Amino acid sequence: MSTVPPTATLNPPAIVSTALSKGFGEGHARVMAVDKVALVARFGEMVFIVGPSGSGKTTLLSMISGILRPDSGTVTIAGQDIWSLSADQLAALRLNSIGFVFQDYHLFTRLTAAENVAIPLILQHHPWDDAIAQARRSLEVVGLKERGDILPVKLSGGEQQRVAIARAIVSGPQILILDEPTASLDGDTGRMIIAFVRERILNQQRCILIVTHDARINEYADRILYMEDGHLSEPPRASA
């Protein structure tokens, strides 16, 4: 799909970037990884960003999620200009409002699935027992109710990805960002994960942004944006 559903167009913006730019290097060697990018993604919407390696997708994600400071431009999350915040405020926003699912899961091998999911709550100073109880409820949402006491090495790739998703949503973030979520999965498992995210994780109070090379999952997107040479645009339409 490439058009926004009517319900999503009525929802307020979740992510807005304006003239967002970031370059690396000096002088003639300087390269603009992201060049004056404008982006609007709304609550209730799942947006894919596609494009070749080196096109600036990861840099864009890093600026939107408050990890990498832009050279110029603005990013607002639910109306808050994130790069006007202090370092402590920005860290709190990342912890409370943004869930990030990494390509390689980033699970701690010596912690059980439930303990991995509980980490954001522990960082928010929840009592241990409460954090684990909430983590188990989050695992139930992703269909892993009985796997909370299992170490990551005993889980399949699809199960590890779902643990990572459970960890990303356990604190109820408004923004969920997935970086190449199907890259380490076979085609059927990848489609199952994205279909699951759309059906069970996306709601009218959440916006999901996915960076992917996997054209097999494009059918699950509300909109697909194309990034190349630091510029973001609607992808070219196929000729009739």
Among candidates 144, 69, 82, which has minimal Cα distance to 107? 144
The full 3-state SS of 70-90, as one line of letters, equals CCEEEEEECCEEHHHCCHHHH
pLDDT at 7: 54
Q: What is the enclosing helix (H) or strand (E) of 9?
A: helix 6-9
> What residue type is 129 in one-letter code?
D
pLDDT at 4: 55
**Per residue of the chain (240 residues), what is the pLDDT tens digit?**
445 555 566 789 999 999 999 999 998 899 999 999 999 999 999 999 999 988 999 899 999 999 999 999 999 999 999 999 999 999 999 999 999 988 788 899 999 999 999 999 999 999 999 999 999 999 998 889 999 999 999 999 889 988 999 999 999 999 999 988 888 888 888 898 899 899 989 999 999 999 998 888 999 999 999 999 999 997 655 544
Token code pair at residue 160: 């590890």
pLDDT at 1: 46
Q: How far apart are CA 93 and CA 75, in angstroms?
A: 13
Q: How far apart are CA 172 and CA 138, in angstroms?
A: 10
Q: How far apart are CA 176 and CA 120, in angstroms?
A: 14
> What residue type is 77 in one-letter code?
I
Q: What is the pTM of this model?
A: 0.87
Segments making up each domain of the chain, as ranges: 44-57+87-233
DSSP string, 132-153: HHHHHHHHHHTT-GGGTTS-GG
Range 44-57+87-233: architecture per CATH: 3-Layer(aba) Sandwich (3.40)
Among candidates 210, 237, 218, 228, which has minimal Cα distance to 61? 210
Q: How far apart are CA 22 and CA 34, in angstroms?
A: 5
Kindly tell me the number of DSSP H helices and DSSP E strands found in the chain: 7, 10
The residues near 181 (Cβ < 8 Å, ≥ 6 apart) are 101, 103, 161, 190, 193, 194, 197, 210, 212
pLDDT at 10: 74
